Copies of this chain bind each other. A is one copy, B any other.
């Protein structure tokens, strides 16, 4: 159990949807933390020490003990600070929340990134198709719930912030239609609820510089083609 004498540090990069997940979890819990911005072109000693395997952000450090992988960090935060629960208490509902958050990573985040940040056209198209399929499963799953977690934000909503905030930027940059109110009306409505939730709002990066960052990345990918 967490005490009041905590050292809580997050190594992040402000544009990262994975880092944003951890920020939402910390802000939902009201946990104060030190944020360290990493330069991913020149990774710090601290990042390499704490995440020698993947060398990626986010890394969460609690009283000197590091954890990598955003969904595992969110689940750890929920284990360590019990108030404002992020996962349901019922074992079956917990399993479903883990299932859908893993689904989002495997079937939406991975293909949606490849649909934009890949040079090969066939690969882009295949990945766009796959992410549309993934989004359709989520459209069927959200039904008329406010959030995947019900009335409150839960693990699946946190995992899916990528869909609500990042996919709209990515599709605009690449001139694609992935996540639109026309294709996915219920999921789109959920996305609007999510990004306007006060805790999510304070956790998101500002849109314009984030858009510019990814646009730069996109253009340099095709410039070097």
Q: Give chain A's interface residues, CB within 8 Å of chain B.
A: 53, 62, 65, 67-69, 72-73, 75-76, 79-80, 91-92, 94-96, 98-99, 102-103, 137
A62: which B residues are within 8 A, CB to CB? 92
7 contacts between A and B (CB under 8 A): A69-B99, A69-B102, A72-B99, A72-B102, A75-B95, A75-B98, A76-B95
Interface pair B79/A94, CB less than 8 Å apart: yes
Interface pair B76/A94, CB less than 8 Å apart: yes
A103: which B residues are within 8 A, CB to CB? 53
The CA-CA distance from A178 to B112 in the complex, in Å, is 33
Q: A53-B103, A53-B137 given as contacts; is B92 within 8 A of A65 (CB)? A: yes
Copies in the complex: 2
- Return the chain B residue nearest A97 by Cβ: B72
A67: which B residues are within 8 A, CB to CB? 92, 95-96, 99
Name the distance in Å between A88's Cβ and chain B's nearest Cβ.
11
A75: which B residues are within 8 A, CB to CB? 95, 98
Interface pair A91/B76, CB less than 8 Å apart: yes
